[in-house]
Amino acid sequence: MTNAEIIYKPGDWLLHRFIFNYAGKECTYLFRITVKNIRETTVFYSVSLEKIEKWDDTLICGFYNPAYIAGNHTSDISQATPESRNVFINPAYTGEYKISKTTTLRYYKGILTYLENTEPGVSFTRIQLIDTSIQELKASITPLGMSITMIGLILVVLATIITVIAIFIVVRRRHKTTETPLNQSQGA
């Protein structure tokens, strides 16, 4: 059984950007995931290709052909954990999970918001939530896919840097002001 409340309902949708890069060849797709039904702890959903943003006409993009991902899917969220890499897992999971040396996932109340898998020097895969109809989830992302927490952290760092620069300028001006009369009196 789930340990937390499900925040989505039939008809809700998620828009994920899927980026796959292999040996410098990149493919980028937008996928729409739509909740079709929820029966007890099973979520029925469909995945459809919304848009091809970037396509390298080689075997690389064919390897991650959108047709392989599109279709109807189910997820039993009662036992699903981040290790499953499912779009929908137990809603008790919120946060970032490093499930291997190369794979990091982020979930918000059991909904996949970010996945990154890197094989250094070989391939890179990223799945990122960029829009949704789920209001509670929408409040935690921006159009760039950055979380509100991340934006807040960036703003705090920028404010700190600006404060340090301002203090440096004020101290330097005061130092020059105190030096000027001494220099003027020595010249007289």
CB 74 within 8 A of CB 47: no
85 alpha-carbon distance from chain centroid: 15
Q: Is it the case that residue 98 has pLDDT exceeding 80?
A: yes
* Paired tokens of 9: 């309902």
What is the average per-residue pLDDT within 12-22? Answer: 92
pLDDT of residue 185: 53
Give residue 6's pLDDT. Answer: 92
In the predicted model, is pLDDT for residue 133 greater than 70?
A: yes
183 has pLDDT over 70: no
d(CA 188, CA 177): 18
Which token pair is 143? 């159009």
Please report the pLDDT score of residue 155 as a whole number: 67
Characterize 104-124 residue by residue with b for buried, 16 or more Cβ atoms within 10 angstroms of its Cβ, and e for exposed: bbbbbbbbbbbbbbeeeeebb
* Helical segments of the chain, H only: 59-63, 66-69, 135-138, 148-187
Q: What is the mean pLDDT of the chain?
A: 82
In the predicted structure, residue 44 carries a pLDDT above the cut 70 = yes
What single letter denotes the amino acid at residue 177?
T
Q: Across the chain, how many H-helices and E-strands are there?
A: 4, 8
Res 1: pLDDT: 44
| CA–CA distance, 147 with 163 (Å, rounded to integer) | 24
73-92 pLDDT per residue, tens: 999 999 999 999 999 999 99
